[in-house]
């Protein structure tokens, strides 16, 4: 794996640093050796994230021994901060490849492009949509498909999906991961496309195509959701993923400490209302909750309250694991299979 530095100036210890967090926790394509954030210089990335030392230093600038510079933030609108241009330029001049998940495509910038050619480095804009897009054709996988949706952006949808994959593999199940955002693609998914950069008519088709591809050699497929069905800005993307994946089951990710939607004045919907909305629109079943309790002191009490309120298995996948969610999914698969067989008889 390439030795990589992740650029997150001022954002590592915020929800906007989720790309960096995901790469550290689950990355398969890149070996993260340092985090660039001068506001936390001298600290360890793992200790900042989870209170666990990982040996990944946080520095004020990237080192010259690094192979790749990864832009590791997800700011609103996905634009490159102007003051970061010098970081990109310095990285290219240092012979480093550049990976970016922003909506601003660095490879379309004349200055960056010219420098990349001069110094013989690659610029990978992860969010560039795939070619040969098509509308959805109504494909429904014969394999079990589980979609992780949420009540807002940056609440743990991708993390939950990856923890479910981890739990499945631990139990000898050949599980697949479909990424629908830039971080999941950078981590190394079985199929991936940043669907918020795909023209709206083709979002469902892009997701359908990825599920179809992964269904060929996996027993169960976990699909990463985006935003929230009820979100005023990101709802259309979440809907496209829901329509395209045609999930058998849904897990809802939620931050119980959050009152308002991220960067928006709207209130976070009641969990019960979001569940009803997802089940009605998606013609599917919500079977569990994944709570992001990073900012909750009495997290065990909170989890118990949500479980009692909804009647659904509820966990924090980082403080615990996703085993209980997987167990519920497998129980549902078994019951639904028996029901279908009895119906045929």
Answer whether 163's CB lies under 8 Å from 291's CB.
Answer: no
Residue 166 lies in a domain: yes
Whole-angstrom Cα distance, residue 278 to residue 286? 8
Are residue 118 and residue 37 in the same domain, yes or no? Answer: yes
Are residue 25 and residue 87 in the same domain, yes or no? Answer: yes
Alpha-carbon radius of gyration of the chain: 20
Beta bridge partners of 151: 228
Burial of 146 (0-12, 13-18, 19+ CB in 10 A): buried
CATH at residue 69: 3.40.50.720
Whole-angstrom Cα distance, residue 211 to residue 139? 9
Query: Residue 79's domain spans which residues?
Result: 2-125
- Could you give the C-alpha distances from 39 to 13, 18, 79, 165, 205, in angstroms and in order? 10, 17, 21, 34, 42
- Return phi, psi of residue 58, to 5°: -100, 125
Are residue 162 and residue 219 in the same domain, yes or no? Answer: yes
Residue 168 lies in a domain: yes
Residue 132 lies in a domain: no
Are residue 49 and residue 11 in the same domain, yes or no? Answer: yes
CATH at residue 285: 3.40.50.300
Q: Give the full edge-to-edge strand order of the sheet including 58-59.
A: 58-59, 30-36, 2-7, 68-71, 97-100, 123-125
Element (H, E) at 328: helix 323-344
Are residue 193 and residue 319 in the same domain, yes or no? Answer: yes
Residue 221 lies in a domain: yes
Are residue 86 and residue 149 in the same domain, yes or no? Answer: no
From 92, 125, 158, the end of a domain falls on 125
- Could you give the C-alpha distances from 32 to 16, 19, 40, 318, in angstroms and in order? 18, 12, 17, 20
From 125, 160, 176, the end of a domain falls on 125
Q: What is the DSSP string of 225-286?
A: --SBTT-TTTHHHHHHHHHHH--SEEEEEE-TT--B-TTSSSBPPPHHHHHHHHHHHHT-EE
From 125, 158, 173, the end of a domain falls on 125
Residue 171 lies in a domain: yes
Residue 161 lies in a domain: yes
Residue 137 lies in a domain: no
Among the listed residues 49, 15, 16, the one whose alpha carbon sits nearest the alpha carbon of residue 32:
49
Sign of the CA dihedral running 24, 29, 31, 34: negative
Are residue 183 and residue 309 in the same domain, yes or no? Answer: yes
* Number of structural domains found in the chain: 2
Residue 136 lies in a domain: no
- Which tokens hold the place of 226? 């985006």
- Return phi, psi of residue 72, to 5°: -110, 35
Whole-angstrom Cα distance, residue 297 to residue 279? 31
Are residue 44 and residue 162 in the same domain, yes or no? Answer: no
345 residues of the chain, pLDDT tens digit each: 889 999 999 999 988 898 999 999 999 889 999 999 999 999 999 999 989 999 999 999 998 789 999 999 876 667 888 899 999 999 999 999 999 999 899 999 999 999 999 999 999 999 999 888 999 999 999 999 999 999 999 999 999 999 999 999 999 999 999 999 999 999 999 999 999 999 999 999 999 999 999 999 999 999 999 999 999 989 999 999 999 999 999 999 999 999 999 878 889 999 999 999 999 999 999 999 999 999 999 999 999 999 999 999 999 999 999 999 999 999 999 887 656 555 554
Instruction: Please state the pTM of the whole predicted model.
Output: 0.91
Are residue 105 and residue 161 in the same domain, yes or no? Answer: no
Are residue 102 and residue 231 in the same domain, yes or no? Answer: no
pLDDT attached to residue 345: 45
Are residue 117 and residue 196 in the same domain, yes or no? Answer: no
Are residue 64 and residue 190 in the same domain, yes or no? Answer: no
């Amino acid at each position: 794996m390439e030795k990589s530095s992740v650029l997150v100036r001022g954002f590592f210890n915020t929800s906007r640093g989720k790309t960096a967090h995901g790469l550290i926790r689950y990355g398969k394509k890149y070996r993260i050796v340092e985090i660039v954030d001068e506001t936390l210089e001298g600290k360890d990335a793992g200790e900042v994230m989870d209170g666990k030392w990982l040996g990944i230093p946080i520095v004020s600038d990237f080192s010259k021994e690094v192979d790749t510079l990864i832009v590791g933030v997800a700011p609103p609108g996905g634009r490159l901060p102007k003051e970061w241009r010098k970081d990109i330029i310095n990285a290219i001049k240092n012979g480093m490849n550049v990976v970016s998940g922003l909506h601003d495509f660095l490879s379309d910038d004349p200055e960056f492009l010219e420098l990349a050619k001069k110094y013989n480095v690659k610029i990978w804009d992860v969010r560039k949509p795939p070619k040969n897009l098509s509308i959805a054709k109504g494909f429904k996988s014969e394999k079990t498909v589980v979609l992780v949706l949420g009540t807002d952006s940056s609440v743990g949808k991708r993390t939950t999906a990856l923890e479910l994959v981890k739990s499945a593999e631990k139990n000898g199940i050949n599980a697949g991961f479909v990424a629908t955002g830039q971080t999941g693609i950078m981590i190394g998914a079985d199929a991936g496309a940043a669907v918020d950069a795909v023209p709206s008519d083709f979002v469902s088709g892009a997701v359908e195509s990825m599920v179809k591809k992964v269904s060929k050699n996996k027993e169960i497929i976990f699909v990463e959701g985006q935003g929230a069905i009820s979100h005023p800005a990101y709802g259309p993307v979440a809907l496209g993923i829901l329509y395209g994946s045609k999930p058998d089951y849904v897990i809802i990710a939620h931050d119980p400490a959050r009152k308002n939607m991220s960067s928006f004045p709207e209130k976070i919907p009641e969990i019960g209302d979001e569940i009803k909305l997802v089940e009605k629109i998606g013609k599917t079943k919500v079977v569990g909750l994944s709570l992001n309790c990073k900012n909750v002191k009495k997290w065990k009490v909170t989890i118990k309250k949500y479980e009692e309120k909804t009647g659904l298995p509820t966990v924090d996948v980082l403080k615990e694991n996703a085993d209980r969610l997987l167990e519920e999914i497998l129980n549902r698969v078994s019951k639904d299979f028996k029901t279908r067989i009895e119906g045929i008889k």
